[in-house]
């Protein structure tokens, strides 16, 4: 590939953004907390974990709308 081709290639950041990281981290935390709650038989932990998953899915687009999403090239 020549230098000219590299200069005109479209760059994808693959969604690396603060909004994406926070959303996915909250969803993964919810799954992990729910699994731990099931393992130690704590109904409260299970339901907190269950609540974290949709919260992460809701917070993600809100943060994106606030400007913390992927930046336009």
Q: Taking the domains of the chain in order of start, what are their residue ranges?
A: 13-67
pLDDT at 17: 87
What digits encode the pLDDT tens for the residues 5-53?
555 666 566 668 888 899 999 999 999 999 999 999 999 999 999 999 9
Pairwise CA distance, residues 49 & 34, whole Å: 4
Length of the chain: 73
Q: Enter the DSSP assignment of 17.
A: S
| Alpha-helix residue ranges (DSSP H) falling in 1-73 | 3-8, 18-39, 43-63
pTM over 0.85: no
């Amino acid at each position: 590939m020549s230098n000219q081709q590299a200069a005109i290639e479209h760059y994808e950041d693959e969604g690396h953004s603060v909004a994406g990281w926070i959303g996915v981290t909250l969803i993964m935390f919810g799954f992990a907390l729910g699994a731990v709650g099931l393992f130690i038989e704590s109904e409260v932990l299970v339901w907190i974990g269950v609540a974290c998953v949709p919260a992460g899915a809701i917070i993600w687009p809100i943060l994106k709308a606030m400007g913390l999403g992927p930046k336009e090239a």
